[in-house]
Amino acid sequence: DELKDALRRKPLPYGTYFDSIAPARTFGFIEEVEALRKAGLALGGSEENAVVVYPDRYSSPLRFPNELARHKLLDLMGDIALAGLPLPNMEVFAVKPSHRLNVEFARALVGSLGR
């Protein structure tokens, strides 16, 4: 399916963070978005900062063909940065990353670096 294809390994050229990663919007599936809104949450979401994933379409055109995967990379980079680690030149292979898994990964990095 399209989401799985978008998450396949696609290296980005060095130095492309501001043009290729930072603009990737957060996303959520329509069922999750509806539940959040009923709970009074996610009220600041708009097409400028989020993509809603419907079964057959997106709420707005994607900025990149693999924008969802790029946002997952953005999340991973942010979670590592919050651990106080510099972002070294490294290759990371992530399958179905999430903030929970990213934080576990960051903790393991901190532990392996003896910090």
For residue 2, pLDDT beyond 60: no
How many domains does the chain fold into? Answer: 1
Q: Output the pLDDT for position 115.
A: 61
Phi-psi region of 96 (alpha: psi -120 to 50; beta: other; left: phi over 0): left
Decide if 110 contacts 83 (C-beta within 8 A): yes
Q: Specify the CATH number for the domain of residue 64.
A: 3.30.1700.10
Host domain of residue 88: 2-112
Residue 53's closest CA among 113, 110, 6, 101? 6
In this prediction the pTM is: 0.78
Decide if 67 contacts 22 (C-beta within 8 A): no
Q: What is the mean pLDDT of residues 68-92?
A: 82
For residue 6, pLDDT beyond 60: no
| CA dist., res. 79 & res. 101, Å (int) | 10
Decide if 51 contacts 58 (C-beta within 8 A): yes
pLDDT tens-digit readout, 17-65: 888 889 999 999 999 999 999 999 988 888 889 999 999 999 999 999 9
Q: Write out the catalytic residue numbers.
A: 99
Q: Output the pLDDT for position 3.
A: 47
Q: Output the pLDDT for position 114.
A: 63
Decide if 6 contacts 65 (C-beta within 8 A): yes
